Amino acid sequence: MTQYGLIGRSLSHSFSSSFFNKKFKEENINASYANYELETLDNIKDVFQINGLNGLNVTIPYKEQIIPFLDKLDPLAEKLGSVNTIKVTREKGKTEFKGFNTDVFGFHQLIRTYFKQHHEKALILGTGGASKAVAHVLLEYGIDVNFISRKQKQKNIYNWEEMNAYFIKHHLLIVNTTPVGMFPDLDKKIPIFYDAINSKHLVIDLIYNPKETLFLKESKNRGAITLNGEAMLINQAFKSWEIWNQ
Ligand code: NAP
């Protein structure tokens, strides 16, 4: 039986295993998808040695840390420094692990029909793995991108304390790429000036559980178009499947 799986630290509420196992059952595919919950990547080689392993997904917090363990990177994953899909190939007795990034495809599919001409400036909350995929897509659209981070200020990266109402008013596309408000922390709310949000804003949360975070709810209450991360999730999974079967 062909094996697939997800590497991450806390996977009890992950979507991928139920998505793929349902697909395998419905389409009579002789394969199985498992969760590999790892406290660190110290024992990643044990996962890599699983019999019949064909592909893996990678999630928080390992999308960047996994890279040194791989043999090759697809150019997009290399450019972003973020891997969420690994393809395993075996040739002449040698096994090779190659990293890809399908978050870019997933995010593009999520926004492509919602993106409008007036979304000239975007604010990305967080600077982790997913933020890089989001920024890549937005820069391809020619959008001016700024980030909010808890880390030291740098060119186009601002601190949360610096973000005022003017900032919100002048960034009509806002994307949350932090885990703030994700299950089980449903009462946690992204601290922004919600009253500066209006009907011209497109506000996106990459979180898909819950379907509507407090960040999206407050933004929607001010008239913004809001999107959660569900469509991105489904599309990145489809793309992973395509890569594993190429
Ligand atoms: P990550 O690499 O750990 O990055 C998350 C970033 O969020 C961190 O780098 C940090 O940025 C910021 N952050 C973390 N905790 C914070 C806090 N308490 N307050 C403020 N900022 C905080 O994780 P990721 O892989 O990018 O994933 C981030 C989120 O996106 C998760 O909720 C994940 O489920 C979601 N996601 C969804 C999809 C999808 O398909 N829908 C795909 C990928 C990710 P700074 O260090 O700059 O502060």
Q: Which two tokens stand for residue 19?
A: 């998505």
Question: For the segment 89-120, what is each residue's pLDDT rounded down to a tens digit?
Answer: 998 889 999 999 999 999 999 999 999 999 99
Query: 49 Cβ partners below 8 Å, 6+ apart?
Result: none
Any idea which residues carry the catalytic annotation?
63
CA 38/CA 177 separation, integer angstroms: 22
- The set of protein residues with a Cβ atom below 6 angstroms from ligand 1 is 60-61, 63, 103, 106, 126-131, 149-151, 177-180, 182, 206-208, 229, 232-233, 236
Percentage of the chain modeled with pLDDT above 90: 91
Check residue 153 and give its pLDDT.
76
Is residue 100 within 8 Å of 78, Cβ to Cβ? no
CA distances for 46 relative to 34, 49, 103, 141, angstroms: 14, 5, 26, 41
Which residue has its alpha carbon closest to ligand 1 atom 22? 178
Contacts 24+ apart (CB under 8 A), 116-119: 116/202, 118/172, 118/200, 119/143, 119/172, 119/173, 119/202
pLDDT tops 80 at residue 166: yes
Distance of CA 74 to the CA centre of its chain: 17
CA gap 71, 51 in Å, rounded: 19
Q: Average pLDDT for residues 20-38, to the nearest whole number?
A: 97
**What mean pLDDT comes out for the span 122-147?**
95
179: CA distance to ligand 1 center in Å? 5
CA distances from 147 to 9, 142, 157, 210 (A): 25, 16, 5, 24
Q: How far is the CA of 96 from the centre of ligand 1 (A)?
A: 29
Q: In this structure, which residue's CA is closest to atom 27 in ligand 1?
A: 130
Q: In the predicted model, what is the mean pLDDT of the chain?
A: 95
Among the atoms of ligand 1, which is closest to the Cα of residue 232? 40
Measured distance CA(109)–CA(89) in Å, rounded: 28
Residue 103 is predicted with a pLDDT of 96
Q: Which two tokens stand for residue 214?
A: 């407090």
pLDDT digits (tens, 9 = 90+) for 187-201: 999 999 999 999 999
φ and ψ at residue 156, rounded to 5 degrees: 55, 15
The per-residue pLDDT for 1 is 94
Distance 222 CA to ligand 1 centre (A): 24
Cβ within 8 Å of residue 193, ≥6 positions away: 163, 164, 165, 167, 168
